């Protein structure tokens, strides 16, 4: 600490309130904010800031977006022959909302395999 800062600290922490105390406290706060901004600008090394991290390099190298396009689904394929057989044998299961939802999702995702 410099002598002027010590004097400001003693004046700011004095029991008496007054203009001198307010001025000393303001000077201490201004010095602190200046010190913080200076310390944060010094902590950024220009050599380190210019080198991207491996994660940033991977993001730049990515050619596709984050969507599911082109990704292989982990859910099972639904074959057209199985659907036809289900309609014949168990129409209630085929008409159930959960099966219809799964069937539509499979068609949208390309997991529905048509008979050729």
- pLDDT tens-digit map of 103-115: 999 998 888 999 8
Q: Which of 17-21, 64-68, 73-77, 110-114 has the lowest mean pLDDT?
A: 64-68
Sign (positive/negative) of CA torsion 7, 9, 12, 16? negative
Alpha helices (runs of H) in the chain, residue ranges in sequence order = 3-12, 19-43, 46-50, 54-61, 80-89, 91-95, 97-109
Confidence of residue 39 (pLDDT cuts 50, 70, 90): low
User: Residue 69 has what pLDDT?
Assistant: 56
**pTM, two decimal places:** 0.39
Mean pLDDT (the chain, rounded): 77
Q: Are 93 and 86 in contact (CB under 8 A)?
A: yes
Measured between alpha carbons, how far is 37 from 51 in angstroms, rounded to an integer?
23
Q: Are 20 and 11 in contact (CB under 8 A)?
A: yes
- Looking at the DSSP bridge assignments, the partners of residue 79 are 113
């Amino acid at each position: 600490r410099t002598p002027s800062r010590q004097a400001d600290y003693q004046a700011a922490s004095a029991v008496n309130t007054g203009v001198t105390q307010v001025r000393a406290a303001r000077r201490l706060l201004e010095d602190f904010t200046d010190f913080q901004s200076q310390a944060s600008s010094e902590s950024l090394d220009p050599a380190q800031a210019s080198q991207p991290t491996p994660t940033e390099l991977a993001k730049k190298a990515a050619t596709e977006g984050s969507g599911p396009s082109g990704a292989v689904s982990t859910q099972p394929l639904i074959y057209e022959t199985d659907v036809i057989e289900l309609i014949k044998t168990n129409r209630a299961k085929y008409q159930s909302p959960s099966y219809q939802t799964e069937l539509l999702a499979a068609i949208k995702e390309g997991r529905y395999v048509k008979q050729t």
